[in-house]
Amino acid sequence: MNQQATSKSQEGQATTIKKTFSRETSVSVTIMADPSIVWALLTHGSDFPRWNSTVISIQGEIREGNTIELKSTLDEKRTFKLKVKEFAPEKRLVWGDAQGSRVYTLAKGAGGGVLFTMSEKIGGPLFPLFARMIPPFDEAFEKFAADLKKEAETIQRSKK
Amino acid sequence: MTTDELTSQFVSFQGELKSFLLRMTASVQDAEDILQDTYLKAHAKLDTFRGESSLKTWIFSIASNLARDLLRSRKRWPETVTDICREEALHNRQFFQEAMQIRETSPQGKFEIKEHIAFCFTCVSKSLPLEQHLALLLKEAYGFKVTEIAVILNQTDAMVKYYLHVSRAKMIEIFDRRCSLIDKQGICHQCTELNGIFNPKQKAQEELVKIEMARDAEDTSKDELFDLRMKILQELDPFESGAAELQLHHLEHNRRVMEKYLEENL
């Protein structure tokens, strides 16, 4: 099984591990904001396009068991129908389809911040056939994490 | 605290509270009912008030909960509320007859664009999610601090900051896109249209230059324009202003149109 990491994991920098039958991209960043703010931003779908430069639209309520429709800048012509598989407030959110799952986790980070991690693993027996057609996620992941950090910290710093 | 002290303090801010409730519910009847229920509930629970917040914050908390209970089951209005209601009004001769009657006979029947701006905000802000709507009004129109709003809404400071940030951004975006007072390409000119109907001899431009928001639109940031809009809300009492009866008549029209629209369309 060949395994290849495109880069070392650093704050805000995406890492991709490629295998024959799967590909996994992840990014982590420390956000100096209350976890409730980060969670609120991640779970209010209609508000995503305002702060997240990688999302064109999200329709549907992000709640466990619901199906949402996501349009991303990665492939503007396609609408992804994704099921919300896990919804643990301020801890873990997972959505995905048959090809893969996007996992968001919130944990205690350095200096009282929130360690936000986002990863997505895609794959399956037919993965080698369509792997070339799937664009790399690294840049979009880095933008997503940077946008989330900026927006959450802006809200945290807002006046009392 | 004694009943006399409660009553005396309640009276000192009941105008603000009634105005807040009107802007939440868009209904004079609902605002008056909740105002009365708030006093009765405060009176009944007076022994539980321990002075951890000001009495005003505690009373607004009771009123907000009552408003929430009423509004939770009702659908939120679309941001295009003024377009929808304008179309209905154009086919409603009785609405204009009543409005002209108020304009000619009531001491609170003046039409001023400034008043209409506050009225318009009341309608459009009902497109916000309920918690965001409550937080935005409490902060921007009634001057409560984040920590006080957190007590009123029983939320953390962080969540209140989130509500305020998002609701403010949404309102700025909607008015920036729609309002012709701040963008000449804006699709809504209802305030100047109505000025032409109710004040035919007064040029809309003359009226607009009196309003800082419209006068400075090209040189002022979106945030500052929103603050100027909020300043109008802060300064106007929708029950006591010189345009109160005319605007409340208009609000009642829009509320009825919205109830019918939401029942039929959503």
pLDDT in tens, A72-100: 998 888 899 999 999 999 999 999 998 88
- The class of domain A4-42+87-157 in CATH terms is alpha beta
Return the beta strands (E) in chain A as ranges.
Answer: 4-5, 15-18, 22-31, 55-59, 67-72, 75-88, 92-97, 100-108, 114-123
**Boundaries of CATH 1.10.1740.10 in chain B?**
1-74
Q: Residue B141 carries which DSSP code?
A: I
Q: What are the residue ranges in chain B where pLDDT is below 50? A: none
Interface probe for A, chosen from B159, B162, B176 (most Cβ of A below 10 Å), is B162
Q: Is the pLDDT higher at A157 or at A4?
A: A157
Interchain pair B161, A156: CB under 8 A: yes
For the cut 60, the answer to whether the pLDDT of residue A1 exceeds it is: no
**What residues are paired with A31 via a beta bridge?**
A114
Place of tokens 């409340």: B248
Interchain pair A41, B162: CB under 8 A: yes
Under the phi-then-psi rule, with left for phi > 0, alpha for psi from -120 to 50, and beta for the rest, what region is A111? left
Kindly state whether B187 is in contact with chain A, defined as any CB-CB distance less than 8 angstroms. Answer: no
Q: What backbone phi and psi angles, to 5 degrees, belong to B100?
A: -65, -35
CB-nearest to A36 from B145, B156, B173 is: B156
Which residues of chain B are within 8 Å of residue A159 when distances are taken between CB atoms? Answer: 146
Give Cβ neighbours of residue B212 (< 8 Å, ≥ 6 apart).
B228, B231
Kindly state whether B162 is in contact with chain A, defined as any CB-CB distance less than 8 angstroms. Answer: yes
pTM of the model: 0.89
The domain segmentation of chain A, as residue ranges, is 4-42+87-157
Alpha helices, DSSP H only, in chain B? 3-25, 28-44, 55-71, 81-90, 93-105, 113-124, 130-136, 146-153, 157-178, 190-198, 204-209, 212-215, 222-235, 244-265
Torsion of CA B67, B164, B121, B176, to 10 degrees: -160
What is the predicted pLDDT for the residue at B197? 81
Question: Comparing C-alpha atoms, which of A109, A108, A105, A107 is closest to residue A117?
Answer: A105
Kindly state whether B157 is in contact with chain A, defined as any CB-CB distance less than 8 angstroms. Answer: yes
Whether B116 contacts B194, CB under 8 Å:
yes
What is the predicted pLDDT for the residue at A13? 94
Residues 9-38 of A with CB under 8 A from B: 33-34, 36-37
Name the residue in chain B with its Cα closest to that of A35. B158
Name the residue in chain A with its Cα closest to that of B157. A160
Yes or no: domain B1-74 corresponds to CATH 3.40.50.300: no
Interchain pair A158, B157: CB under 8 A: no
Which residues of chain A are within 8 Å of residue B147 when distances are taken between CB atoms? Answer: 160
The C-alpha of A76 sits at a distance from chain B's nearest C-alpha, in angstroms, of 23
Which residues of chain B are within 8 Å of residue A156 when distances are taken between CB atoms? Answer: 158, 161
Which residues of chain B are within 8 Å of residue A41 when distances are taken between CB atoms? Answer: 162
Query: For residues B110-119, b (16+ Cβ closer than 10 Å) or e, as one string?
Result: bbbbbbbbbb
The percentage of residues in chain A with a pLDDT greater than 70, rounded to a whole number, is 94
The C-alpha of A85 sits at a distance from chain B's nearest C-alpha, in angstroms, of 25
Which residues of chain A are within 8 Å of residue B158 when distances are taken between CB atoms? Answer: 33-34, 36-37, 155-156
DSSP 3-state of B148: helix
Kindly state whether B1 is in contact with chain A, defined as any CB-CB distance less than 8 angstroms. Answer: no
**What residues are paired with A27 via a beta bridge?**
A118
pLDDT in tens, B111-169: 888 888 999 999 999 999 999 999 999 999 999 999 999 999 999 999 999 999 999 99
Q: What backbone phi and psi angles, to 5 degrees, belong to B235?
A: -85, -20
